[in-house]
Amino acid sequence: PALGELSVSTDTCIGVDKKGTIKIKKQFEEGSDSESNIDLVIAENGLERSELEILDYSADPNKFFFPGFIDTHIHAPQVPNNGIFGNTTLLEWLEKYTFPLEASFKDVKTASYIYNKVIDRTLTNGTTLASYYATIHENATKLLNDIAYLKGQRAMIGKTCMNQHSPDNYIETLDECKEAQYGVIKHVEETNEGHESFDVITKPIITPRFAGSCTEELMKWLGELSQSGEYHVQTHLSENHGEIKWIADMFPHFDSYADIYAKCNLLTNRTVLAHCIHISEEEKDLLVKHNSGISHCPTSNSSITSGEARIRWLLDNGVKVSLGTDCSGGFSPSILTVARHALLVSRHLVMKSKQDQQKLTTAEVLFLATVGGAQVLNVDSYLGKFETGFQFDAQLIDLNVENSPLDLFPFQQGRWQELLDKWLFNGDDRNTVKVFVNGRCVVSKV
């Protein structure tokens, strides 16, 4: 589907091979018998029924497969702070809540306990690919990689880099950063040896926290490193007015906040920029020029009072847009919650501007949650959609699960647009009953 389009495949059979690649997608006549359809596909493709695992949900009109969610911005160590931000805004919030918690990941036992919970929690919410910020610590970051790999969640593993304007107990020197960064990259790559590019589970991502906590020298080194290994990059850009002013004063010889990253070679076609709320026309043009994408984090932006990102403006200008939970600036590990909030924030912009076209629809925010994420992470040739040649990263949704706050009435069956609206606004992780990555079931609640 394209942005704004809702593509529903009913009476459809999807065949997935051992590597998780969708090899067959075949639609049958509406209401035709599923058993004989499956037999037909088996016969046509010369397959052996006994060697196949067949999942047939055609008898239940309330179940459907949806592409796995892609969370392009989440701080794994911050999840224990979800919901805890008081009345702070960004810079005070970092000092008061965030740095002390992240500093505690020097202890690998703490890291192990929390990272296990985080991967479970995001997986159970249907996140099949997440781009994680870890902490500055090499061992804890390696552990995050190992836990994601073992639990089977696709993950970008970012060792957070910060060598200035940080607390004494949570800062590194340039040399310490280099050593830890090399260690993490080597470890992540060794973990995935033997995988092909499309079925790799974890990948390193270069993660200068933001210009405020990195010297120009460090950012230039990270830019070079990203170029040398074609590594992904993630950082924060233009989140809060106080932050923007502080960074402008710190880097007076650059044209803008985005220009700092551009001149340090950190803007690439595989760079994720979180927030981008207050960027100028010129900064937007820089993102377009380098084909860098953004992670829209509306739950975080509302909670710590950062602002409302102009998503329609970015989309209309050809900027790639995805969604991020930004835990714990954001309060929820659920991309469904973030998608809902993205829709609402777009309405708030309309209430101020009276420009109705700024509204995002259900189909659009669910596109950002899947295809948009794949575009921003540069994996849209094999993730985000159910098409032949794509990997089967999916969630099985049951709208009628027991204890779900989503009340379903029989007369609503088959009205897919309305059912998706209900799911977006009233659904939660209870409706995500199975999760698949590379065709492998990694969560099953039924």
210: partner contacted, choices ligand GUN, Fe ion, none (Cβ within 5-8 A by kind): ligand GUN
Whichever of 4 and 242 has its CB closer to ligand GUN, that residue is 242
Instruction: Looking at residues 245 to 274 of the shown chain, list those that interact with Fe ion (rule: CB under 5 A).
Output: 274
Give CA–CA dist 178/189, Å, rounded. 17
- Is 210 near ligand GUN (CB under 6 A)? yes
Residue 338 Cβ vs Fe ion, minimum distance, rounded to whole Å: 13
Give CA–CA dist 157/181, Å, rounded. 11
Sign of the Cα pseudo-torsion (132, 134, 139, 140, in order): negative
Give CA–CA dist 191/187, Å, rounded. 6
Give CA–CA dist 146/108, Å, rounded. 13
- 424-to-8, 267, 313, 429, 430 alpha-carbon distances in Å: 16, 33, 23, 11, 13
- 345-to-1, 321, 411 alpha-carbon distances in Å: 24, 15, 31
Among 236, 278, 341, 434, binds ligand GUN (CB under 6 A): 236
209: partner contacted, choices ligand GUN, Fe ion, none (Cβ within 5-8 A by kind): ligand GUN
- Is 298 near ligand GUN (CB under 6 A)? no
Q: Are 318 and 278 in contact (CB under 8 A)?
A: no
Position of minimal CB gap to ligand GUN: 329
Window contacting ligand GUN (CB under 6 A); options: 90-98, 340-348, 397-405, 432-440: 90-98
Give CA–CA dist 430/87, Å, rounded. 31
Give CA–CA dist 181/439, Å, rounded. 31
Give CA–CA dist 116/4, Å, rounded. 36
218: partner contacted, choices Fe ion, ligand GUN, none (Cβ within 5-8 A by kind): none
What residues pair up with 11 in beta bridges, in sequence order?
A: none
Whichever of 199 and 239 has its CB closer to ligand GUN, that residue is 239
98: partner contacted, choices ligand GUN, Fe ion, none (Cβ within 5-8 A by kind): ligand GUN
- Is 326 near Fe ion (CB under 5 A)? yes
Give CA–CA dist 365/359, Å, rounded. 10
Write the CB contacts of 242 (distance below 8 Å, at least 6 apart in sequence).
89, 90, 91
* Binding characters for Fe ion, 223-242, by CB under 5 A (x = yes): --------------------
Residue 180 Cβ vs ligand GUN, minimum distance, rounded to whole Å: 18
- Is 98 near ligand GUN (CB under 6 A)? yes
Which tokens hold the place of 424?
């977006």
- Is 393 near Fe ion (CB under 5 A)? no
Residue 209 Cβ vs ligand GUN, minimum distance, rounded to whole Å: 5
Instruction: Looking at residues 313 to 352 of the shown chain, list those that interact with ligand GUN (rule: CB under 6 A).
Output: 326, 329
Is residue 15 classed as helix, strand or coil in its secondary structure?
strand
Nearest to 444 by CA among 398, 413, 405, 407: 398
Whichever of 76 and 442 has its CB closer to ligand GUN, that residue is 76
Residue 99 Cβ vs ligand GUN, minimum distance, rounded to whole Å: 9
Residue 94 Cβ vs ligand GUN, minimum distance, rounded to whole Å: 6
Please give the residue ranges that form the binding site for ligand GUN (CB under 6 A).
75, 90, 94, 98, 209-210, 236, 239, 300, 326, 329
